Structure 1
Amino acid sequence: MAGLINFEDEKEVKEFLDNLGTEYSYQCHKEKDPEGCLRLADYLDGVKKNYEAAAQVLRHNCEQNGHGESCYKLGTYHIAGKGPMGNLARMPRLDPYSFLETPIFSMTTESQDLGFTSHPRTVPIYSIVPCGVPACLRSAYSCFLRSCEKGGKKRAEACHSVGLLAHDGRALEAGPDAGAARSYYERACGEGLAASCFNLSVLYITGAPGLASDMGRALQFALQACQLGHVWGCANASRMFKLGEGVPKDQARAEELKNRAKELHSQQKEAQLTFGE
């Protein structure tokens, strides 16, 4: 059994982790391996808790190596900051769903029919943490934009995040940009990210400066979100068929979508209960 680590031996674990850091550093700085740089950043973050050093590695890997996943991770650092912050000022928390995740019928009889007793609250992607890497929404926007354009494993999430920040407007000097939000939501939706499809539906329901309300397109994206398992996409599409918004009334289709929303909602509740056991 030689070579196995005794994780109950503190000294042995420390030696193992130190060797791991040396290996990742070699991969990044000597072999110039972008994946090795990402592993090094994860090591500095998760093991050493040196968030500033991790951010430096991520920035280098993003800007010099064009590594999309590193750009995305650096963007998440800048959303709310990362690490011990001391007396530095914090950025306000960005809740990317606060203005998007309320269904259009949330206060109506239809929501009660579905068995929902409160507004949906999707757990946001980002949460406030003490900050050694300063929070900066503009820096986050730039990082997500690079990641969206570069591609990689986090491309859809990066494009969605650009859409959220453009929709919210705090990262942009000129304020909210519905056109940019739509464009980046469309990219992420096209890659199968249900939240982006739903947000597109909301954009077309409400309209925005430079973007006219279009219930037909709103229904299209609500249905796409529903197919991807988004409960509120199904619920909103159900309501639109019931009321004939953007489509001729179809009570059978409305009922089918309502039942699908209830099924998804039940599955989510069961998953939460299982996780909490």
Structure 2
Amino acid sequence: MAYDLKKEEEVKEYIENLGIEYRFGCYKEKNPEVCHLLGDYLEAIKKDYGKAATVYKSNCLDYNYGKSCLKYGNYALIGRGRDKSDPQEALHIFEKGCELNNPTSCLHAGLLLTSTGPNVTVQRDVPKGYNYLKKSCDNKESMACHYLSGMYLTGVPKNPKEYNPHNPEKNAKLDFLIKPDLKQAFQFALRGCELGHVYACANVSLMYKKGDGVEKNLDESKRYFEIAKSLQNADETTKELKFQQGLDNK
């Protein structure tokens, strides 16, 4: 049946039929891709986050669908579709998604395991978190590469409370889980830039300018600065287009 999407009633009918098709494909045909679409439908169209969470969780755990692990992990982390957040469950789900080769799930698992601060409730495990971040970067998640670069820029102290960014002499005497390594920092920043991360490109430009982790090269510094500026402009243009077209209004 052809729908005239300029007519409100036909739009409503189309949306309802879409939901029916997704439910059939998920519950009857047990197609994980369609189950994920059903979760997206319940989230974006119906605004029923509780049911969406149930679908994403089942699709992750029962059908081993990595994208749904990422979605449900985010729900658990921020408390969407439930009474409160559960970072520990979120970590478990992100780890599951990472095992299923979803690079963003690897990123989130790595961030949870390496983060510090008063509101962090997940037990810190830097070596394990590093491995998740490395897998994420290797699978073309630019943010993971950028984050790894930052870890090598400053190092990761065993006791973060002892680290003082304004006292490099004292910091040099600390016990580090990951020691500062500017060459590694540069390589990860370069990889992040190649994958389109604007701040990674900015760091590459700065490191070329200073000669940190790479031979000083002002021409390359300028080139990567221009790449960073181009990426930033493109991002701002995309945001403007989305706003004008109403794509963020669900």
TM-score, normalised to structure 1, is 0.70
Q: In structure 2, what is the equivalent of residue 81 of structure 1? A: 79
- Structure 2 counterpart SS, 1:48: coil
Q: In structure 1, what is the equivalent of residue 137 of structure 2? A: 189
CA distance in 1, matches of 2:15, 2:242: 30
CA distance in 1, matches of 2:235, 2:21: 41
CA distance in 2, matches of 1:250, 1:13: 58
1:52 paired with 2:19, answer no
Q: Aligned AA for 2:142?
A: A
Q: How many residues align?
A: 221
Q: In structure 2, what is the equivalent of residue 103 of structure 1? A: none
Q: Gaps spanning 5+ residues in structure 1: where?
A: 83-130
Specify which of 187, 191, 198 is matched with residue 146 of structure 2: 198
Q: Which has the higher helix share?
A: 2
CA distance in 2, matches of 1:21, 1:137: 31
Specify which of 167, 188, 208 is matched with residue 114 of structure 2: 167
Specify which of 233, 250, 254 is matched with residue 217 of structure 2: 250
1:159–1:188 CA contact under 8 A, matched in 2: yes
| Pair 1:226–1:46, CA change in 2 (3 A) | closer
1:186-211 alpha-carbon deviations (Å, 9 max, x no partner): 11211222211111100100111311
| Pair 1:138–1:266, CA change in 2 (3 A) | same
CA distance in 2, matches of 1:252, 1:18: 57
Report how far residue 220 of structure 1 moved. 0.6
Q: Aligned AA for 1:243?
A: K
Show the 5 A alignment for 1:185-264: 185-208=133-156, 209=158, 210-264=177-231
Q: In structure 2, what is the equivalent of residue 93 of structure 1? A: none
Asked which structure has the greater RCO (Cα within 8 Å, sep 6+), the reply is: 1
1:98-148 alpha-carbon deviations (Å, 9 max, x no partner): xxxxxxxxxxxxxxxxxxxxxxxxxxxxxxxxx546322222222111111
Query: Once superposed, what is the RMSD of the aligned Cα atoms?
Result: 2.4
CA distance in 2, matches of 1:269, 1:29: 40
1:158 paired with 2:105, answer yes
Q: Aligned AA for 2:85?
A: A
1:50-76 alpha-carbon deviations (Å, 9 max, x no partner): 222222222222111111111111112
| Pair 1:55–1:271, CA change in 2 (3 A) | closer
Percent identical residues: 35
Q: In structure 2, what is the equivalent of residue 64 of structure 1? A: 62
| Pair 1:142–1:171, CA change in 2 (3 A) | farther
Q: Aligned AA for 1:228?
A: L
| Pair 1:248–1:66, CA change in 2 (3 A) | same
For structure 1, which segment, 73-82 or 34-43, has the greater mean C-alpha deviation from structure 2 after superposition? Answer: 34-43
1:141 paired with 2:91, answer yes
